[in-house]
Chains A and B, each alone.
Chain A
């Protein structure tokens, strides 16, 4: 916002984002001095240059990811530092535990990333081989473990700005990957077989002169041999699927397919053996190939969504400090979080995440549960209280006794949830499955009737017609296309930061006519931010003073001031004799002059009782004020409030534009709610609600016939979220543990809800198109086949083309251009999240 031109002029050489005005970091790269936007980018660039990989900047085609300085060395790396436990239980290796290492890499952007990583690693001593699989984002390393530890590799990668974590084959669903690989092989074999069989079939179709009977027999035998791999290898999924369906007494679409393949192949084989009658080898292999192709596409869509989930799970702590001989000795040792057992005593340092559900046995902890609940204020935990895994310790080091092993903890619940996610079927898909299964039974009957009828009319055509009926029908449009549309949509949403937990979300959301927003943490950020700054000295100076005094503090208001100073790239100045008075504020000496920052009364003790008019402007209802003054007078007032999310206004506007009834439902005071509602453009406000009352409101609306969508912030609104027809929880990573919502917005952007609604409408439109197509096609094609108008090969083409069409239509959801941003906010709709001070 400050100084547009300057910002435009200088972009960070590493990440391509604007360099904040004022301060900047520079580095000599490629013979010129380059500007960088932050210390994180600078240190990464320096490492790249120092290791002789400068060429990276010439090769890359897109800017690199921005580097968060705090993420440069994640604490988990310490775990891998210990020589006693070289990545024990964390790094999975294939044959040779010590020398093989597989890592998953995040943040690959273009070819230069591949070059940089491989080249950089190749220069580390002790690395024999480093190979990056771009498709699966996995790095295979063979190294000499004595010379080159896992941690040094990870640290090197982090230093380059990539997030890497040890790869766990169990968690990564290696099984699924192997299955998909087999499917690819089956598809390939079927394709090969189809091509070759066609070579023999087409001349027969084309010729008018007739083919020499010997030649004909030879071609038939060749076709038979070439079809064998397709039927006995490639078609296996259909046979096993049909068998599984039969055993479960719910015949699926595999059954008619399998019978069709088996009948056509057997019939053709007998005809070849006898040397008379029709053969359909070409139809068989083509049918198998085209059906496998649509199935392959569908699996690929599903696997992609699984991979996105996998990356999300990496947010959890990987290590814990265990006191083995507590209370005799206090020596700690690092273990992998997965190895924690109930009864272990763990030490959690300030800033660390508690790895498993644990009971406090020493110290009083201030815990940040923001990840779990969205609750922004730190909560105090007393001795004996149980703290959930995933909470972050904000106070002094504390000792806890593990109550549940990590596997049974809150965190594990997230993993399970992530596995469930996307598997649940919405009512529409379930309905389609039921219909498809009845359809299959009816179809088998019809095929039998057709066979019998034609046997009486014209026995020579009975077999061909019955096969045509079996093959032409396309129940897959019913039972396959709906899930693939949902998988594609779910994957797409996940990539945009929305985890759809229950299958009904997309279906219900597009029917919703009322949407309820919670206030704190949903429409607002849920943590204080500087909304206004009134000062009698330059603002930069005021922020610099405040940041210096609050730097060490963990109080949310203090954090907000420090963050704001960092955001504006204002360096904190030097202070002496910094001290704090509980409940009042901070005091210090600067150049021998005493300064105070905090409550009005506290500052008034040195600055005098008369506040200058500039500092006594009325504050908004939601804001709290922090004052700054020294012995010669008042200097500044900082208004801190739970600021609106940047996209709150446009999200509300988007839903209103669609004609939804938008209601603000909150437990906060009416004045605060009214102010927020007015700013974002919500007309209906229900304030001061207890959780019980919120629930009643939802019930009342539903009794009035409304389909209610709810956007809340996780645990506070659990009951309400459960009651809604479809609900969204704002939260990241671990918020899932407590999930009672149908979908979780992990990107922390409210606009994702509007995007989700948009996606829901598109998905349902595509599902409807697919269902209509399936009905029309089957309605026309099956009678045509039964009356003998279609040859088996025509049926095979028709059915396969129909399924490809339907799957392709569904996959449009994941491929299409980005969802258009919701309707832009009305110009006069109040201030954005951060007015940036007066």
Chain B
């Protein structure tokens, strides 16, 4: 049970770390669009615009 004396403060630290990570992600716009990425992942299109351009009419 002695391990808990270490684990409890550690878990508290972890939560504050999680809060910090969350704020960073939120500031970075990770939560702005929760629908778009799910739609994009279906389109497995790996060609970049540059590769495609010569094909254009």
Q: Which residues of A contact B (CB under 8 A)?
A: 50-52, 55, 59, 110-112, 114-115, 118-119, 122-123, 132-136, 181, 184-185, 188-189, 192-193, 196, 199-200, 212, 214-215, 218-219, 222, 225-226, 229
**Chain A nearest Cβ from B54, distance in angstroms:** 10
Asked if A114 meets B8 with Cβ closer than 8 Å, knowing A119-B45, A192-B15, A229-B19, the reply is: no
A225 close to B12 (CB less than 8 A): yes
**Chain A nearest Cβ from B12, distance in angstroms:** 5
| Chain A to chain B contacts (Cβ below 8 Å), 11 pairs | A51-B56, A52-B52, A59-B42, A111-B38, A111-B40, A133-B33, A136-B33, A185-B26, A188-B26, A192-B22, A219-B8
Asked if A189 meets B22 with Cβ closer than 8 Å, knowing A133-B32, A219-B8, A225-B12, the reply is: yes
B8 close to A200 (CB less than 8 A): yes
Bound CA span A219–B32, Å? 36
CB-CB nearest 3 A-B residue pairs: A111-B39, A134-B36, A122-B49
Point out the residue from B4, B26, B39, B56 that lies within 8 Å of A110, measured CB to CB: B39
Please name all residues of chain A whose beta carbon is closer than 8 Å to the beta carbon of B34 when the two chains form the complex: 135
A59 close to B56 (CB less than 8 A): no
Bound CA span A215–B5, Å? 7
Bound CA span A222–B9, Å? 7
A196 close to B11 (CB less than 8 A): yes
Asked if A188 meets B1 with Cβ closer than 8 Å, knowing A52-B55, A136-B33, A196-B11, the reply is: no
B33 close to A135 (CB less than 8 A): yes
B56 close to A111 (CB less than 8 A): no
B56 close to A123 (CB less than 8 A): yes
B43 close to A135 (CB less than 8 A): no
Point out the residue from A115, A188, A218, A225 that lies within 8 Å of B43, measured CB to CB: A115
B45 close to A115 (CB less than 8 A): yes
Which residue of chain B has its CB nearest to the CB of A51?
A: B56
B11 close to A222 (CB less than 8 A): yes
A188 close to B22 (CB less than 8 A): yes
Q: Which residues of B contact A (CB under 8 A)?
A: 1, 4-5, 8-9, 11-12, 15-16, 18-19, 22-23, 26, 31-36, 38-40, 42-43, 45, 49, 52-53, 55-57
Which residue of chain B has its CB nearest to the CB of A225?
A: B12
Bound CA span A136–B31, Å? 12
Which residue of chain B has its CB nearest to the CB of A188?
A: B22
Asked if A134 meets B33 with Cβ closer than 8 Å, knowing A196-B15, A222-B9, the reply is: yes
Bound CA span A341–B52, Å? 48
Which residue of chain B has its CB nearest to the CB of A114?
A: B39
B5 close to A218 (CB less than 8 A): yes
A134 close to B5 (CB less than 8 A): no
Interface centre among B22, B49, B53 (most CB of A within 10 A): B49
**Chain B nearest Cβ from A406, distance in angstroms:** 32
Asked if A193 meets B15 with Cβ closer than 8 Å, knowing A185-B26, A188-B22, the reply is: yes
Please name all residues of chain B whose beta carbon is closer than 8 Å to the beta carbon of A119 when the two chains form the complex: 45
Interface centre among B15, B35, B55 (most CB of A within 10 A): B15
**Chain B nearest Cβ from A797, distance in angstroms:** 22
**Chain B nearest Cβ from A602, distance in angstroms:** 53
B22 close to A226 (CB less than 8 A): no
Bound CA span A200–B15, Å? 13
Please name all residues of chain B whose beta carbon is closer than 8 Å to the beta carbon of A110 when the two chains form the complex: 39
Which residue of chain A has its CB nearest to the CB of B32?
A: A133
B52 close to A123 (CB less than 8 A): yes
Please name all residues of chain A whose beta carbon is closer than 8 Å to the beta carbon of B36 when the two chains form the complex: 114, 132-135
A59 close to B43 (CB less than 8 A): yes
**Chain A nearest Cβ from B52, distance in angstroms:** 6
Bound CA span A214–B42, Å? 54
**Chain B nearest Cβ from A26, distance in angstroms:** 19
- A interface secondary structure, majority: helix
A222 close to B35 (CB less than 8 A): no
Asked if A222 meets B53 with Cβ closer than 8 Å, knowing A134-B35, A136-B32, A193-B15, the reply is: no
Bound CA span A192–B20, Å? 12
Bound CA span A192–B15, Å? 7
A189 close to B11 (CB less than 8 A): no
Asked if A135 meets B35 with Cβ closer than 8 Å, knowing A123-B56, A219-B8, A225-B12, the reply is: yes
**Chain A nearest Cβ from B51, distance in angstroms:** 11
Which residue of chain A has its CB nearest to the CB of B5?
A: A218
Point out the residue from A51, A188, A199, A212 that lies within 8 Å of B11, measured CB to CB: A199
**Chain B nearest Cβ from A144, distance in angstroms:** 14
Bound CA span A798–B16, Å? 29
**Chain A nearest Cβ from B16, distance in angstroms:** 8
Known interface pairs A111-B43, A118-B40, A132-B36; 20 further A-B residue pairs with C-beta atoms within 8 A, sorted by A's residue number: A55-B45, A59-B43, A115-B39, A115-B40, A123-B52, A133-B32, A133-B33, A133-B36, A134-B35, A135-B33, A135-B34, A181-B26, A181-B32, A185-B22, A189-B22, A192-B19, A193-B15, A215-B4, A218-B4, A222-B11
Please name all residues of chain B whose beta carbon is closer than 8 Å to the beta carbon of A118 when the two chains form the complex: 40
Please name all residues of chain B whose beta carbon is closer than 8 Å to the beta carbon of A229 when the two chains form the complex: 16, 19
Please name all residues of chain B whose beta carbon is closer than 8 Å to the beta carbon of A134 when the two chains form the complex: 33, 35-36, 39
A222 close to B5 (CB less than 8 A): no
**Chain A nearest Cβ from B34, distance in angstroms:** 6
A52 close to B56 (CB less than 8 A): yes
**Chain A nearest Cβ from B49, distance in angstroms:** 4
Point out the residue from A59, A123, A184, A192 that lies within 8 Å of B53, measured CB to CB: A123
Which residue of chain B has its CB nearest to the CB of A113?
A: B39
A215 close to B39 (CB less than 8 A): no
**Chain B nearest Cβ from A817, distance in angstroms:** 22
Bound CA span A132–B39, Å? 11
Please name all residues of chain B whose beta carbon is closer than 8 Å to the beta carbon of A133 when the two chains form the complex: 32-33, 36
Bound CA span A188–B36, Å? 21
Which residue of chain A has its CB nearest to the CB of B36?
A: A134
Please name all residues of chain A whose beta carbon is closer than 8 Å to the beta carbon of B35 when the two chains form the complex: 134-135
**Chain A nearest Cβ from B21, distance in angstroms:** 11
Bound CA span A189–B19, Å? 7
Please name all residues of chain A whose beta carbon is closer than 8 Å to the beta carbon of B39 when the two chains form the complex: 110-111, 114-115, 134
Please name all residues of chain B whose beta carbon is closer than 8 Å to the beta carbon of A51 when the two chains form the complex: 56
Please name all residues of chain A whose beta carbon is closer than 8 Å to the beta carbon of B5 when the two chains form the complex: 214-215, 218
Asked if A222 meets B8 with Cβ closer than 8 Å, knowing A132-B36, A184-B31, the reply is: yes
Which residue of chain A has its CB nearest to the CB of B39?
A: A111
A50 close to B57 (CB less than 8 A): yes
Which residue of chain B has its CB nearest to the CB of A119?
A: B45
Bound CA span A619–B28, Å? 69
Bound CA span A218–B11, Å? 12
Bound CA span A199–B14, Å? 14
Bound CA span A185–B31, Å? 10
Asked if A123 meets B40 with Cβ closer than 8 Å, knowing A136-B33, A189-B22, the reply is: no
**Chain B nearest Cβ from A578, distance in angstroms:** 39
Bound CA span A136–B26, Å? 16
Which residue of chain A has its CB nearest to the CB of B23?
A: A185
Bound CA span A418–B17, Å? 44
**Chain B nearest Cβ from A505, distance in angstroms:** 32
Bound CA span A114–B36, Å? 8
Please name all residues of chain A whose beta carbon is closer than 8 Å to the beta carbon of B11 when the two chains form the complex: 196, 199, 222
Bound CA span A114–B39, Å? 7
Please name all residues of chain A whose beta carbon is closer than 8 Å to the beta carbon of B55 when the two chains form the complex: 52
Bound CA span A226–B11, Å? 10
Point out the residue from B12, B23, B43 that lies within 8 Å of A222, measured CB to CB: B12
**Chain B nearest Cβ from A352, distance in angstroms:** 34
**Chain A nearest Cβ from B7, distance in angstroms:** 10
Please name all residues of chain A whose beta carbon is closer than 8 Å to the beta carbon of B42 when the two chains form the complex: 59, 111
A215 close to B19 (CB less than 8 A): no
Bound CA span A214–B18, Å? 27
Asked if A114 meets B40 with Cβ closer than 8 Å, knowing A52-B52, A193-B15, the reply is: yes
